[in-house]
């Protein structure tokens, strides 16, 4: 898949999430999260990313999520390329406490630079500081495994 098609697909997914959120303003919550990625692979040093997530409450403690964004892992050595991908994932978020939540995601990581598409799976825990800010850590595998530290800002 070429880069131009990948960018168009990502923009369409992001627009869909925004339009869906406006259509169901009472139930969808949109969060923008910058992330620091810590790879478990010896070939990568560190990474950064940004995720746009929509969450729909199913019941008081349970929500369904859709997320997309761009994430990049930077190589330790010059002979490796950056691993940049567009995650497209759906999942569940469960509040074990009014402030503490766990989540689980499944989806696809669409790679740039002819890397291809990988299955994406992950899960994590987080803390809701107030109605606008939360933070969390999750572990994901999208062709390579990493931990993601994030701070989410509700839009």
Domain locations along the chain: 3-154
User: Which residues are within 8 A (CB) of 50 and not within 5 positions of it... i.e. 6 or more apart?
Assistant: 32, 33, 34, 35, 69, 70, 71
* Cα 122 from chain centre: 10
Indicate whether 29 pLDDT > 80: yes
Indicate whether 22 pLDDT > 90: no
The class level of CATH for 3-154 reads mainly beta
**Angle, CA of 29, 17 and 103, to the nearest 5°:** 55
Indicate whether 88 pLDDT > 90: yes
Task: Specify which residues 147 forms β-bridges with.
Answer: 38, 139
List, in sequence order, the alpha helices (H) in the chain.
3-23
Q: Measured between alpha carbons, how far is 46 from 4 in angstroms, rounded to an integer?
A: 26
User: Is the overall model pTM greater than 0.75, yes or no?
Assistant: yes
pLDDT of residue 115: 83
Q: Is 53 in contact with 20 (CB distance < 8 Å)?
A: no
Provide mean pLDDT across the span 69-87. Answer: 93
17-53 burial, b if ≥16 CB within 10 A, otherwise e?
A: beeebeeeeeebbbbebebebebeeeebeebebebbb
H/E segment holding residue 41: none
Provide mean pLDDT across the span 16-29. Answer: 58
- Please provide the average confidence, as pLDDT, over all residues in the chain: 88
Return the half-sphere exposure (C-beta side, CA atoms, 13 A cut-off) of residue 62.
4
């Amino acid at each position: 898949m070429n880069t131009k098609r990948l960018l168009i697909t990502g923009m369409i997914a992001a627009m869909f999430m925004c339009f869906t959120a406006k259509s169901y303003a009472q139930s969808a919550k949109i969060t923008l999260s910058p992330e620091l990625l810590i790879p478990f692979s010896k070939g990568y040093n560190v990474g950064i990313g940004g995720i746009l997530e929509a969450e729909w409450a199913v019941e008081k403690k349970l929500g369904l999520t859709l997320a997309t964004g761009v994430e990049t892992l930077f190589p330790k050595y010059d002979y490796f390329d950056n691993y940049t991908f567009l995650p497209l994932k759906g999942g569940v978020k469960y509040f074990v406490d009014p402030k503490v939540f766990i989540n689980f995601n499944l989806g696809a990581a669409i790679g740039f630079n002819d890397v291809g598409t990988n299955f994406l799976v992950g899960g994590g825990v987080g803390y809701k500081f107030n109605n606008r800010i939360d933070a969390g850590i999750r572990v994901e595998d999208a062709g390579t495994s990493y931990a993601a530290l994030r701070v989410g800002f509700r839009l």
